[in-house]
Each structure stands twice: as structure tokens, then as C-alpha cells.
Structure 1
Amino acid sequence: MAEAPRGILSGIRVLDFSRMLSGPYCTMMLADHGAEVIKIEGPEGDTSRSNGPYRADDPGHEWAGYFVSLNRGKKSIMLDLKEAGAKAAIQDLARTAHVVVENFRPGVMERLGLGYEDLAKNNPALVYAAIRGFGDPRSGASPYAGWPSYDVVAQAMGGLMSMTGADRDHPMKTGPGIGDVFAGMMLAFAIVAAVRHAERTGEGQFIDIAMYDAMLSLCERLVYLYDMEGKIAEPAGNGHPLLAPFGLFPAADGWVSIGVVDDSFWRELARIMERPDLLEDQRLATKAGRRRYAAEVNAAVSAWTRQRTKRALAESLGGRLPFGPVNDAEDIFNDPHVAARGMIADVPHADSAKPGWRVAANPIRFSATPALTPSTPPRLGADNDLLASTRTKP
């Protein structure tokens, strides 16, 4: 019999105290590649269990889409951390873990006697990873350390909103919860790096990711533009402050993206547009020139694209220069790229008689150790028998 597939992180045990998006996204990335992720949930469960949406065949509202998407392939222990015995149970379980993940405000786990220093006493190789809105005082005491935070706060304070939108008077958040997701992605990377260090040296450590910091890292242009030119990065609408044509352009039936950086791509675009005058205009021959006359360049390209459908533009531009249509969910579900890459994953329902769910698949591709086939997310407390393997029960 063939051996069951094993992900690249097989053998890594993660105790996951996190909830909502940032921490669960991080641990989802780990679980998708073989880590054993054990959610530690209170009696009400991860908050995302009650956030919806719910399918019509789920009248009891047990399977929220928010929860299903982020918690596939994990286990669940239901435990009230404030009850007598819970602390000892977690301490015993933590002896068997390689990683702990949490996204509470500073001091919460310490008050429960479950902070990094508490758990590392009995497991010196433990990697303890925390996402907080403004970081942990261990690595820099922010004046906002005690403030609660969600994605919208991180996007606002970290600079993303100041760079996004139609103009300076209309800042805008991004659609996805990038303040949470990007912090979770960075924490997943940090965990893998710290686990490698622990395996080599036997030394664990505390990992601290601030959502504010993650957003500032993402908005790197904001920093160098202010440092080098003294300019405050402002919303550029659907364009780019340094490049043209670069951004979104109208089509007869929607929008398309075009990104011209190299001069060779500009020449190719002018030829496709059948605009020899643009080719001959030396003002536009270089990136610097097109930046200077960006309004003129973008107007010319827009006048051409709006006369054509997205399909026609794809036939003209696809493969010849950086181009792509603006896709909605229906477009994505029908896109042959998504099918070829397996980017819509099927998650089986806990009730085998019911159809499963479709979620965004893990995008990381390893040639030798691919991501595992997603398994169903856990019912609350479905794996409480794991506590039986510890010396102390709550």
C-alpha cells in the first residue's frame, strides 16, 4: 500500500490560540503543508464560526464560510482557559508542541500563566509566535500597545489607505483583509525560519509581528519616496505615480490592466494600437518622458481600449506585454488558469452526505512535497481526546 502523502511540514505540532483572520491564515498555511495544527478554542469557539456566511443546508449555522475557508485540515480542542485545570492541561500539551500561535493583546496569555516564558520553561525549543496590532513590548514598546486592532485599523495606520483611492480626499481600504492576511503570511515565514533554528540549536524563541509594521513593510514605496524626494505618497487612483501607462484602463465591457515599464513594451503597445505617431514622439520614448506626460499617455491608451471588449483586448495584448482583464468571482471560477493550477480547492463536508465547500487553494507549489488535499475543518472540541495524552486533565 502506498504511503499516505506527507506535507513538507509533517511532524510539526502547532497549538493555535488565534482567532478571526490573521492567526488562522498563518496556521492554515502551515496545515496545508502538513503541520498538525490544534486549535485551542473557548466554549463559544473561534469568533469566525459565527461570522457567516452560511449555506441553506446549514440551518444550525455550524459551518460559516469564514471559518471553513481558514481552518481546513486543523484539529480543535474546546477548553475554557479560565477554568481550574486548564492551565496545567495547556502546559502539558505545550511540552509536545513545536509552535504556539496567538493573536491576543499583550499580557493576556501572561495573565493566564501561558505566556512564552511560562511555556518555554518546560520546552526550551518552543517557538512562540504572536500577532498583535502594534506588537509586543518584548521587542519594542509601542505607545499603542494596548489598543485593539483589526484589519481596517492596520490598513489605516500602516499607510495603505493613504496610498489607495481616487485622491487624497478619498482614502480607501482594500477589499481583502490584507492587514490581517499579510501579517499572517509574514508570521508563517517567521515560524518556519525559527523552527529550523530550533531544530539546529535546540533554542526556541519569541516571534513578534505587529500588523502596523507589516502594513508599513508592504507600503515600502511610501518610505523611499518620502526619504528621497520629500514627497508624501498619495492615492494614484488606478494608475501609478511613477509609470505610464500602468494601471487600469476602460474596456467596452469592463476594465483591463496594462503595465508598461520597459520601453520595448511601450513600442509594442504603440504598434498594436496602430499609432505610429506615438512611436515617433521622442517625448514618450523613455520611462521618464512617459511619466512626465502621463496624462497624455493614459488618455491615448484609454481612448483605444474603451472601444474594445476585454476578450478582444486579450487577443491583441495577451502574451505580448503585461496585460490582464479585471476578473470578478465568476470570471475566476471559469478561468482556465485557475483550473490548470488547481486554485479552487474542494473541502469535504463533515457530513459525507452533504456536498463539500470550495475555497481558495494554497498557492505554494513544491515539486517533491505538494500541499495536502484539504480535509474538513473541525467541529468545536472534536479533538478533546488529545488532552488524554497529557498528564493533567482540566
Structure 2
Amino acid sequence: MTTSTPVPIPATASGPLSGLVVVDLSRMLAGPFCTMLLADLGATVIKIEPPAGDLTRPMGPFADDDELKAYGGYFQSVNRNKYGAVVDLTTAEGAEVVRRLVAGADILVENYRPGVMERLGLGYEQLAEINPGLVYTAVRGFGDPRTGASPYQDWPSYDIVAQAMGGLLGITGPVGGPPTKTGPGLGDILPAIYAALGTLAAVRERETSGHGRFVDVSMYDAVLASCERIVYQHSYRGTVPGPEGNGHPILSPFDVFPARDGWIALAAPSDNHWVALCKAVGRPELGDDPRFRTNVDRSAHSGEVRDVLGRWTAERTREEITALLGGLVPVGPVNTADTILADPHVHARNMLHQVEHPGMARPVTIAASPIKFAGAEHSPARRAPLLGEHTDHVLRRAGYGPEDITELRRSGAVH
């Protein structure tokens, strides 16, 4: 079994966000994914969990040889590169720990419903009195009344609800079929990315203003913003887009086609790509066919385009298709996890992290950050923290002495 010694929290980490300190009060996926992005870029992220831990700790998946089961793959993946402490915010002493941490921090991220943090004495205005430069980022299902009071603002939300209400489910799935949830939790991940961007914009503004900001990202809003196409389609044409299958409402060809051994994605909406594709598949005359001459023409006859290309791809393997079309037009196989992990691109781009997992003798693999910097060395990830692993380090950072820490533990305010 792997045993681990807590790593002291360094004064600064490496990376472009080195020197920034983040107090992470978030849980589940949206908030932790946001702070994971900041941690990957070098920020020192202190994850504060309640005594029972983040709700994702026991959700798995767990490896068969995990003898500890301190957390599963879900928690490991989005809480890498963070330091973990347990603080009970519902106690006066625990709330004071957070206030003392905030005094020396740059950013706070939370994803509670509106009003929760204020009741704990940890709302933005309360913390800004302690640290006027604090950038306070909230990721909520329906936003915060500070930036626009939604009629749903007190509703809880999860990924599938945000996907549904923001329009993503309504355009996903087989044509004419029921709405379909996307595979990844985009209802959480999209707001997380917007929140990280907004947070860094506020940090940049602080350099000149000297003051922090309250940054508010709604899960509903983030999905809607990412489904921007349905808005202009309705505004320009009065249409109400429905499930699109694997095709595209205004680009053709832009679809997934059958191959002899699976599926292949193929897109050639530009006229030059279309002509090149027609020649490559042995149908050069289609490049001059008035039904297919422009993208607008092809979109009007997308069923015929799909039939022609589908018959050609169905007779060939994915390897044969990519060997012929790769580099000529946008094309790629529909990968699964096993083929992704075997793809040389993924290894050349350092898109996999090997991290230790407490309770296991072998390392596990998680996805790495897609953000790369020229001239920068590839930095290996640190595993996610055990529950309360760095509590003492965090308390010392906040100015607590040994006797103070003993008393906080005795009172149950920290673990």
C-alpha cells in the first residue's frame, strides 16, 4: 500500500500564476474544475472541505486494488495540485480560520447557493473589508442577485439541469429523437472555464485599480453562452433548433460516417476542401455539381452528401480513410478511452498525468491540462489531497500556533 507524507505548502509554486493564493470553498465539479485550472497554472490552491469531505470523495470509481478508498477517480482528477484542509465553516472558530486565510489570499472560489456564505459571515462584502483586493468568484446554478436576480436563484442545480435549461440537451441527440445529455459534465465544466477566465480578468484589473471584484458565473448562463448558435438561428430565421444528430445545421459535410471498423468524423464545409475531398474519394465530378458547388448548396442537399460519403467510408477501415484524407481535409476516428491513451498525439502533447493514489502500489492516469507554454518544461501533477492532509500547514499559514491548532482540533472546528 502507498503511504504518503503531506507536502508542505510552498511560498510560491512554479507556473505563470505562481504567487497567487486561492482559497477554494467549492465542491462537486464546477468550482473544483475552476480551481483545478488555476492550480495547473501555478496558483497555490487551498481546498477547504467540511468534516465529511467533498461530496465527490466517495463517488468513485475505485480501482480493485485500492486498499484505502480515501477517494476515487472523480475526486482525484479535478482536485490535483491542491492542498487540502478540513474546516467546519458552521462554527465561529472555523469561519474565523477562513477569514484569516482570506487576509493573505488573492482569490476565493465557492459554489454555494445565494445567501449561504453571508449567513456564515463569509460573504463578499464581509471578506472585502478584511482584504479589499480579494477576487471573490461564485459559480452558482442560476447566478447571484448582485449581478441579476433570477427567479430560480434559490434552486439547486446539477450538470444535467444546466444542460437542459441552457439549451444543450435540446439540440443534442438523433434527429427527431429525444434530447440527450452530452457525455462529459459540460453543465459544470463550461461555467468552470468561464469562471477561471473571469477570475483572472479581475486579478488583472486589480493590478491597476487596487481593488478586487465579485465574479459571478451562472451554470445556466454558461451553457446558454456556449450554445450561442441556437440564439442567432432563432433571431435570424425564426427557427427553433432541435436535436441535430451528428450533422450541422449550416455546414456540409460536417458529420460522423460509418467505417468498416467503427466511425469516422469528417468535415469539408469550405469549397476548397469539398473539391479536394471529391477528388480523393474518386468522385471529382461532384465538385462541379450545382447541387454541391457551395456550402449553402450542400447544406440544402445534406442528405445526398451524407449518402455519397457514407457509402464510400463504409467500404473502408478508419485507418484507410485517415491515411488517404489525413492532412487533406479535417478527418479523424471516433476514439474511445483505450484508443485515446494509445494515440501518439496524446503522448507527444503530454496530455496524460501519472499520479500516485493513496492505498495503491501503482500510479493511476488522469487527463492533463491542454494549456501549454512554449519553452516551459512539462510539470508532473501532484495527486489530490487526503481529507485534512494539510490542515496543520494551512493553519500555520494563517498564523495559528501549536496551542491554537490543538484547541481548534479539540473544539471540532478543524480536522
TM-score, length-scaled by structure 2: 0.91
Distance across 1 between alignment mates of 2:292 and 2:396: 71
- 1:10-53 per-position Cα deviation (integer Å, ceiling 9, x unaligned): 11000001011111111111111110000110011111111101
Which segment drifts farther, 362-371 or 153-162? Answer: 362-371
Which segment drifts farther, 24-33 or 58-67? Answer: 58-67
Unaligned runs of 5+ in 1: none
Letter in 2 for 1:237: G
Q: Is the 8 A contact 2:259 2:314 kept in 1?
A: yes
CA shift for structure 1 position 108: 0.7
Matches within 5 A, 1:158-173: 158-173=166-181
Distance across 2 between alignment mates of 1:227 and 1:5: 48
Letter in 2 for 1:383: H
Residue 118 (str. 1) matches residue 126 (str. 2): yes
Distance across 2 between alignment mates of 1:121 and 1:370: 39
Identity across aligned pairs (percent)? Answer: 47
In structure 2, the partner of 1:316 is 324
TM-score, length-scaled by structure 1: 0.96
In structure 2, the partner of 1:199 is 207
Letter in 2 for 1:131: V
Matches within 5 A, 1:4-43: 6-43=14-51
CA shift for structure 1 position 251: 0.5
Distance across 2 between alignment mates of 1:56 and 1:199: 49
Residue 88 (str. 1) matches residue 76 (str. 2): no
CA shift for structure 1 position 135: 0.2
Q: Is the 8 A contact 1:246 1:260 kept in 2?
A: yes
Residue 241 (str. 1) matches residue 249 (str. 2): yes
Matches within 5 A, 1:86-235: 86-235=94-243
Letter in 2 for 1:295: G
Distance across 2 between alignment mates of 1:52 and 1:207: 31
Q: What's the Cα RMSD here?
A: 1.5
CA shift for structure 1 position 388: 2.8
Runs of 4+ aligned residues of structure 1 deviating over 6 Å after TM superposition are none
Q: Secondary structure at the match of 1:24?
A: helix
Q: Secondary structure at the match of 1:121?
A: helix
CA shift for structure 1 position 195: 0.9
In structure 2, the partner of 1:356 is 363
In structure 2, the partner of 1:372 is 379
Letter in 2 for 1:184: A
Distance across 2 between alignment mates of 1:279 and 1:349: 55
Aligned residues: 390
Letter in 2 for 1:309: T
**Aligned residue among 269, 279, 296 for 1:288:** 296
In structure 1, the partner of 2:311 is 303
Q: Is the 8 A contact 1:12 1:97 kept in 2?
A: yes
CA shift for structure 1 position 179: 0.7
Letter in 1 for 2:70: E
CA shift for structure 1 position 245: 1.2
Distance across 2 between alignment mates of 1:62 and 1:313: 45
Q: Is the 8 A contact 2:49 2:87 kept in 1?
A: yes
Distance across 2 between alignment mates of 1:289 and 1:55: 52
Q: Is the 8 A contact 2:81 2:384 kept in 1?
A: yes
CA shift for structure 1 position 350: 4.5
Q: Is the 8 A contact 1:252 1:306 kept in 2?
A: yes
Q: Is the 8 A contact 1:7 1:370 kept in 2?
A: no
CA shift for structure 1 position 168: 4.2
Q: Secondary structure at the match of 1:382?
A: coil
**1:40/1:117 CA distance change after superposition, 3 Å:** same
CA shift for structure 1 position 276: 3.2
Q: Secondary structure at the match of 2:263?
A: strand
Matches within 5 A, 1:337-348: 337-348=345-356
CA shift for structure 1 position 169: 3.9
**Aligned residue among 256, 265, 282 for 2:264:** 256
Letter in 1 for 2:297: G
Residue 54 (str. 1) matches residue 62 (str. 2): yes
In structure 1, the partner of 2:5 is none
Letter in 2 for 1:359: I
Letter in 2 for 1:134: F
Distance across 1 between alignment mates of 2:52 and 2:378: 30
CA shift for structure 1 position 349: 3.4
Distance across 1 between alignment mates of 2:376 and 2:241: 42
- 1:94-139 per-position Cα deviation (integer Å, ceiling 9, x unaligned): 1011000001111111110001111110100000000000000000
Distance across 2 between alignment mates of 1:61 and 1:111: 34
Q: Is the 8 A contact 1:33 1:371 kept in 2?
A: no
**Aligned residue among 367, 382, 386 for 2:389:** 382
Q: Secondary structure at the match of 2:277?
A: helix
Distance across 2 between alignment mates of 1:78 and 1:276: 66
Q: Secondary structure at the match of 2:338?
A: helix
In structure 1, the partner of 2:76 is 68
Distance across 1 between alignment mates of 2:326 and 2:285: 23
Unaligned runs of 5+ in 2: 1-11, 409-415
Q: Is the 8 A contact 2:90 2:120 kept in 1?
A: yes
Letter in 1 for 2:185: G
Letter in 2 for 1:222: I
CA shift for structure 1 position 289: 0.9
Q: Is the 8 A contact 1:33 1:372 kept in 2?
A: no
Distance across 2 between alignment mates of 1:288 and 1:225: 15
Distance across 2 between alignment mates of 1:265 and 1:185: 32
